[in-house]
A and B are shown apart, each in its own frame.
Chain A
Amino acid sequence: MPVSEHEVLVLTERFDLPNSASIDTYLGHDGYQALEKSLKQMTPESILEELKRSNLRGRGGAGFPTGMKWGFVPKESPKPKYIVCNADESEPGTCKDRLLMEKDPHQLIEGILIAGIVVGSHQGYIYVRGEYRYLLEILDRALEEAYARGYLGKNILGTGFDFELATHTGAGAYECGEESALLESLEGKRGIPRIRPPFPAVVGLYGGPTVLNNVETFSAVPAILRNGGEWYAQLGTPRNGGTRLFVLSGHVNRPGVYELPMGFPLRKMIEEVGGGILDGKKVKAVIPGGSSTPVLTADALDTPMDFDSVAKAGSMLGSGAVIMMHEDTCMVKVALRLMQFYAHESCGWCIPCREGTDWLSKTLHRFHSGGGRDEDIGLVEHLAKNMLGRTFCPLGDAAAMPMISFVQKFREEFEMHLSGRPCPFESKQEPATASR
């Protein structure tokens, strides 16, 4: 049952079934049919065509067309090819992959297998963040079931196709959600990003061509192959196929994970799906795609939530994590907390990111504690702008872009904190939990 009448259940269709994670439930509800079809009726080329038609774009954050990404993997390779699932869900605001693995692990396994068929890979890994230990157990159980029933291992479904799949746990590092740092981590090293090109599709895990996608991306593949790319594309908006698991959090009455069509209007998402803003207050700001995406103000509420429309509104759809902030929120405080996060998580490899996040965090801390100087507003912007595009991986940009948006869109709030004045929001700020 959808939680909201607006939900369109594709990836979450089986979530409410009893024992939804078990292979028997999965097999009883279309499970592994797309795999069988892929192996027996389709070719790697026709699968890729179907994916391209679906307009499926990467759900990790970048929104890169999945069919195109898989198409970059060279056909012939002297080194083995790999499929890696990024289950290092760590973007603040995001808790959707967690449910996909908890409730329907076989859907994910099937999606990964199909990627293996397309690019000719015989080994995959699911890199799960260390904090999600309970999921490692659920996934390992699902893998065991899939091996026992012949959906993994040698000669799958008697077709001669072999595929091995294993889980791998991280141990606490946001940076390892970045594709090249994840590969380093999977090789047992510090999660330091690699320079690109070459991209992982050509030189990835152990130097072999590697397909790397988010949990939600792989999980969408079986339904696309069962029902057709055209069907999936039409669920969304042009160039933005399908549904998306949106995570609503912050100052909203019904926070949760909701599967909605791509392009669902932001206002309707807040008011009708999320039940409006807490205590009937006004919305002041919305972060539309996880903490690394620029903040939007109340005048952007008519934005359709797809990759292209959110980009046009000056932000990014990112991981689909929509974070609402009401009128009593101190934006300097939010900016400070996020920068402390990036300063903590910067791996330290690239100096603009390591130094920039640290200086920004210190400057914002001074600001919020009442020690801000007039020139500090410009300093925050200057520091952030000088990080952009100057790092191996997007973490530097992810810290800088939202910061620039905070200063530009809420400049008056920064000014309110100047010259020793206490935070004007501190007295108003009642923890939301106290009123519930």
Chain B
Amino acid sequence: MQFSAQLEDKLKKLMRNYPIKRSSLIPMLLFVQDEQGFLRKETIAEIAGRLELTIPQVEETISYYSMLRKKPAGKYHLQVCTNISCLLRGGEELFEHARKKLSLAPGETTPDKLFSLEEVECIGACAWAPAIQVNYQFHHELTPERFDQLIGELQRSRA
């Protein structure tokens, strides 16, 4: 299996950073997931082969890390923080609002595959709460109104 030239280059550089192959595993899984959307069976086997690991060794690692996934998420993966600093600033209400607005239960994806929703633990935006991440992008100090605006922008950006 070959990844894009750009990703192959990134992975080659990554592997040069460590004295042992397995150290590349977690960043490699994440970088590949960024390109492919999720970790397919064949991809897992490919990565295991490259790092001289068994498939169960890769699987047990994937199952530990919350950002690694074996099922596709939406094009925009919305991660709403409801941990303490966000909770105190309306994070839970924001999450409820997001659920209703998108008619999604946590972990689900909209039928058009555009949005998926997840309630997440502290994302490190406590001083700018409540905050969410859309993929890797932070959005700070959100209100339900600003959330709706953001959803509108993302919907239009697809068109």
Q: Are B65 and A171 interface neighbours, CB within 8 A?
A: yes
Q: Are A249 and B65 interface neighbours, CB within 8 A?
A: no
Q: Are B85 and A249 interface neighbours, CB within 8 A?
A: yes
Q: Which residues on A sit within 8 Å (CB–CB) of B93?
A: 431, 433-434
Partner-A contacts on B (CB < 8 A):
17, 19-27, 29-30, 51, 60-61, 64-68, 82-85, 87-90, 92-94, 121-130, 133, 136-138, 141-144
Type the 1/0 row for A254-273, where 1 means its CB is closer than 8 Å to any CB of B: 01110000000000000000
Q: Are A287 and B143 interface neighbours, CB within 8 A?
A: no
Q: Are A431 and B90 interface neighbours, CB within 8 A?
A: yes
Q: Which of A69-77, A125-133, A219-227, A367-375 contacts B (4 or more CB under 8 A)?
A: A125-133
Q: Are A170 and B26 interface neighbours, CB within 8 A?
A: yes
A187 within 8 A of B: yes
Q: Are A131 and B64 interface neighbours, CB within 8 A?
A: no
Q: Are B66 and A172 interface neighbours, CB within 8 A?
A: yes
What number of residue pairs across chains A and B have CB atoms under 8 A from each other?
Answer: 160
Q: Are B23 and A187 interface neighbours, CB within 8 A?
A: yes
Contact of B127 among A129, A255, A287, A434 (CB under 8 A): A255
Q: Are A334 and B90 interface neighbours, CB within 8 A?
A: no
Q: Which residues on A sit within 8 Å (CB–CB) of B67?
A: 130-131, 171-172
Q: Are A133 and B136 interface neighbours, CB within 8 A?
A: yes
Q: List 29 A-B contacts (CB under 8 A).
A: A90-B122, A93-B126, A95-B126, A98-B124, A131-B124, A131-B136, A134-B136, A170-B65, A171-B66, A172-B66, A174-B122, A185-B26, A187-B22, A188-B24, A188-B61, A189-B22, A190-B61, A255-B127, A256-B127, A257-B127, A323-B84, A323-B88, A334-B87, A337-B82, A337-B87, A338-B83, A341-B83, A433-B130, A434-B93
Of all chain B residues, which has the CB nearest A255?
Answer: B127
With A131-B133, A341-B122 known, 7 other A-B pairs at CB within 8 A are A94-B122, A132-B124, A190-B60, A255-B127, A323-B126, A433-B89, A433-B94
CA distance A172 to B65 in the complex (A): 5
CA distance A80 to B18 in the complex (A): 12
User: Nearest 4 pairs between A and B by C-beta?
Assistant: A431-B90, A188-B22, A172-B67, A172-B66
Partner-B contacts on A (CB < 8 A):
80, 89-95, 98, 125, 129-134, 166, 168-174, 185-191, 206, 247-251, 255-257, 287, 291, 321, 323-325, 329, 333-334, 337-338, 341, 344-345, 347, 431-434, 436
Of all chain A residues, which has the CB nearest B62?
Answer: A171
Q: Given the interface contacts A171-B26, A190-B60, A255-B128, does A131 sit within 8 Å of B88 by beta carbon?
A: no
Q: Are A94 and B126 interface neighbours, CB within 8 A?
A: yes
Q: Are A436 and B143 interface neighbours, CB within 8 A?
A: yes
Rounded to whole Å, the gap between the CB of A59 and the closest CB of chain B is 15
CA distance A132 to B21 in the complex (A): 24
Q: Are B126 and A247 interface neighbours, CB within 8 A?
A: yes
Q: Given the interface contacts A186-B23, A255-B127, does A91 sit within 8 Å of B136 by beta carbon?
A: no
Q: Which residues on B sit within 8 Å (CB–CB) of A337?
A: 82-84, 87
Q: Which residues on A sit within 8 Å (CB–CB) of B121?
A: 90, 92, 174, 341, 344-345
